[in-house]
A and B are shown apart, each in its own frame.
Chain A
Amino acid sequence: MTESKTIKNDEMNPNFKYEMSKIPGAERIMLCYQCGTCTADCPISRFSDFYKPRRIARMVQFGLKDRLLSDDHLWLCSTCYACVDHCPQNVEPASIVRALRNMVVKERNKMPLVSRELATSLLKSGYIYAMPESRLKRRVEQGLPPLPKTNVKEIERIFKVTGFTSLLENAKTFEKVAK
């Protein structure tokens, strides 16, 4: 993180916390009283100097939307849900992080390369990996039933109606996030 530690007045968007609290899972953001339980129990925080769920909750309350959405450390949450289970205020830090990531994709046109690859395969075949022919043959040899087929047309419709088709086409990607 190269940004300044001093927060300027005009960086703070007072409406952001209200915007966030309308998103499913992030409703209780205003109730965070900064106890730090989430960060203490977060396995990622133990190894990263920058990824701290308590800090993220505070930044949302301060309305630091721009800083939050431009910080790739957001993508380090491993969705272990320890924070969700342990927060005494039921804030659900992991759901807040998910809401922020979804916002990065939607408003900044950016997602991890791996997400774009998995989504592209899913859209084509219903599976997140392209199943090689050899593996399908091997199933027959092993006496396993054929893999269930997908209705690709229906998957395409789901991508479209949720607005993800265009997001996928236009997204810039990034590969790695330093800890």
Chain B
Amino acid sequence: MSEMKYLLFMGCTIPYRLSSYEVSARKVLNNLGVKLVEMPEFNCCGLPMDIVNHDLMLTLSARNICIAEREGLNILALCNGCFSTLNETNKILKEDRETREKVEKYLAENNMSYKGTIDVKHLVHVLAEDVGYEKIKGTVKKPLNQVSVAQHSGCHILRPSKYVGRDDPENPTMLKNLIKLTGAQCLNYAGETECCGNPIIGVNEEIPFQLAREKLNNVKAVGAQALITVCPFCHVMFDANQSRIERAFNEKYNMPVLHYTQLLGLAMGFTQEELGISELRVKPTIF
């Protein structure tokens, strides 16, 4: 098997407010023999700009892809939003000649040109497809047999399926399988593929709070002891905002929300401290 080496695309939100995701991801990937190369240069993937100017998003995104092409490495994104933006841009530029010509013109301002030589993957795809379930299983030293959790894959690693197309968007299984490898039980619940609502929180809090409340209710109803996420935006919605949601609806959840890499890290035998568990707002007491 060829060496597993990727260009790490961390995005803006993880270094800004969720270093626990970065810290734990680096630990478990290293333990699995996945080599991460730092971006030699970076700009935001472009996602937040899509709603105001699609061409701006495409060009910002394409610039990052060009950097990865120069390095000769596939991109590994930890954030659903970064993955979706870079992957969509990559597919559009590969398939749509007219758009490609336009974006090439913009890139030329910076003496860059798109080649179409790399692939973009999310952490979940790298773990499920490239590392493989067998190898991950081999690194589990302390199976979490006593724990039951639920997963929230988030929208942007599933849809739109015409660009993502890796997992089943109606019944996603990758994250569930990855969770089961840790020894934990992964419980099914109502509305698993529903959106967390975070993308519109800047203009309206009410609807995202309603959506997150529904999710937390559904997850709690099946007896999950924690919710597992793989996206910084989903995580912020359920963890950092949980106490505000509790207050807004007069509910009590006390639902810990872990990055998948923290769950896997615990099963690998890393300490809570090594995985940034104390940085979570809702403290897990089950591990």
| Chain A positions near chain B (C-beta within 8 angstroms) | 24-25, 43-44, 47-48, 75-82, 84-85, 92, 94, 98-99, 101-102, 105-106, 111-115, 118-119, 122, 126-129, 131, 135, 138-139, 142, 144-145, 147-151, 154-155, 157-159, 161-164, 167, 174-179
Q: B48 touches which one: A102, A118, A178 (CB < 8 A)? A: A118
Give complex CA distance A44, B211 in Å: 9
Closest 6 CB pairs of A and B: A114-B202, A80-B195, A81-B159, A148-B42, A126-B43, A148-B39
- Contacts A102-B52, A129-B16, A163-B53 given; indicate if A149 touches B160 (C-beta within 8 A): no
Query: Is B203 a contact of A75 with CB atoms below 8 Å?
Result: yes
Query: Is A142 a contact of B210 with CB atoms below 8 Å?
Result: no
Please encode chain B, from 1 to 41, with 1 for each CB lying within 8 Å of some chain A CB and 0 for all others: 00000000010110110010011001000000000001111
Chain B residues, Cβ within 8 Å of A106 = 53
Q: Residue on A with the closest CB to B38?
A: A145
Chain B residues, Cβ within 8 Å of A131 = 15-16
B63 within 8 A of A: yes
Give complex CA distance A145, B36 in Å: 11
- Number of chain B interface residues as a range: 35 or more
Query: Is B43 a contact of A85 with CB atoms below 8 Å?
Result: no
A-B contact count (CB 8 A): 177
Chain A residues, Cβ within 8 Å of B12 = 127-129
Give complex CA distance A149, B40 in Å: 8
Give complex CA distance A84, B56 in Å: 22
Query: Is A115 a contact of B51 with CB atoms below 8 Å?
Result: yes
- Contacts A81-B159, A128-B48, A131-B15 given; indicate if A75 touches B207 (C-beta within 8 A): no
Chain A residues, Cβ within 8 Å of B134 = none
- Contacts A47-B207, A75-B200 given; indicate if A115 touches B16 (C-beta within 8 A): no
Query: Is A175 a contact of B203 with CB atoms below 8 Å?
Result: yes
Query: Is A135 a contact of B51 with CB atoms below 8 Å?
Result: no
B129 within 8 A of A: no
Chain B residues, Cβ within 8 Å of A144 = 19, 22-23, 26
Query: Is B206 a contact of A179 with CB atoms below 8 Å?
Result: yes
Query: Is A43 a contact of B195 with CB atoms below 8 Å?
Result: yes
Chain A residues, Cβ within 8 Å of B203 = 75-76, 112, 114, 174-177
Chain A residues, Cβ within 8 Å of B243 = none
